[in-house]
Amino acid sequence: MKLYTLPKGTYTETAGKKILKYLNAKLCYCQNIYEIFEKAKDDYGIVPIENSIEGSVNLTQDLLLEYDYKIVGETVLDIHHNLIGHSKEKIKIIYSHPQALAQCRKYIKKHGWEVKAVESTAKAVELASKNEEAGAIGSEGLAKLHGLKILERNIEDYKNNKTRFIVIGKKEIDGNFNKYKTSIVFELKEDKPGALYHILKEFALREINLTRIESRPSKRMLGTYIFYIDYEGLNLEVLESLKRYVSFLRVLGSYPILV
Ligand SMILES: O=C(O)C(=O)C[C@]1(C(=O)O)C=C[C@@H](O)C=C1
pLDDT tens for each residue of 101-147: 999 999 999 999 999 999 999 999 999 999 999 999 999 999 999 99
Ligand 1 contacts CB of residue 120 (under 6 A): yes
**Fold annotation for 180-256:** Alpha-Beta Plaits (3.30.70)
Please tell me the predicted confidence (pLDDT) of residue 24: 86
Note whether 2-78+162-169 and 82-152 share their fold.
yes
Residue 210 contacts by C-beta under 8 Å, 6 or more apart in sequence? 200, 203, 229, 230, 231, 232
- Whether ligand 1 lies within 6 angstroms of the CB of 48 is answered as yes
C-alpha of residue 61 to centroid of ligand 1, in Å? 14
- State the distance from the centre of ligand 1 to the C-alpha of 190, rounded, in angstroms: 36
**For a substitution probing ligand 1, which of 17, 32, 97, 142 has the most ligand atoms within 8 Å of its CB?**
97
Give the span between the Cα atoms of 5 and 166, in whole angstroms: 11
pLDDT band for position 30 (cuts 50, 70, 90):
very high
Residue 64: in which H helix or E strand, if any?
A: helix 58-66
CATH T-level topology, domain 2-78+162-169: D-Maltodextrin-Binding Protein; domain 2 (3.40.190)
CA 129 – ligand 1 centroid, Å? 19
Domain-wise residue ranges, the chain:
2-78+162-169, 82-152, 180-256
Average pLDDT over residues 171-190: 95
pLDDT band at 191 (very low <50, low <70, confident <90, very high): confident
- The architecture of the domain spanning 82-152 is 3-Layer(aba) Sandwich (3.40)
> Alpha helix (H) ranges present in 77-167?
98-103, 105-111, 121-129, 140-145
CA–centroid distance, 100 to ligand 1, in Å, is 6
Strands 149-152 and 246-256: what pairing?
A: unpaired
Strand positions, DSSP E, 52-88: 55-56, 70-78, 82-85
CA distance 166 to 220: 27
Q: How confident is the model at residue 153 (pLDDT cuts 50, 70, 90)?
A: very high
Q: What is the mean pLDDT of residues 26-46?
A: 96
The residue to mutate among 50, 58, 101, 163, having the most atoms of ligand 1 within 8 angstroms of its beta carbon, is 163
- Compute the distance from residue 212 Cα to the ligand 1 centre, in Å: 20
